[in-house]
Amino acid sequence: MQDSFLTIFKKINQYNNKGSFEGWIKRITINTALQKYREKVPLQLVVDEEEIEDVVEINPEVNVNILLELIQDLPDRYRLVFNLYVLDNFSHKEISEMLKISEGTSKSNLSRAKFILKEKIKGLNTIVAEA
């Protein structure tokens, strides 16, 4: 985050009032985070899995903060694709270009992230129901 702010302050004179300022900052922040991630952890190819279509209902007693913690607990490669696709609304094509992976790997990582989250949510629902 600190590196993003430093880049923003260094390049503030390059913002030319085209588009939103927030969007410009978001793009710099995402690119900085991706660059740091690429420097530290090589992305691994994950075998394509079939798309998971079933929906898991979340017990209303489960706190949103708990769901965010579950997302944060995902392995890095899955969490990164999940956040970019679900929270930041990037397409698999855009994600594949940003992370320098194939679209299939992006789809597979998203599918795996959804599967892991689904299983953890099922476990949470069981715990809450028993309490």
- In the predicted model, is pLDDT for residue 37 greater than 80? no
Phi/psi of residue 126, nearest 5 degrees: -65, -45
State the pTM of this model. 0.58
Taking only the tens place, the pLDDT of each residue in 70-103 is: 889 999 999 999 999 988 999 999 999 999 999 9
Question: In angstroms, rounded to a whole number, what is the distance separating the alpha carbons of residues 57 and 13?
Answer: 48
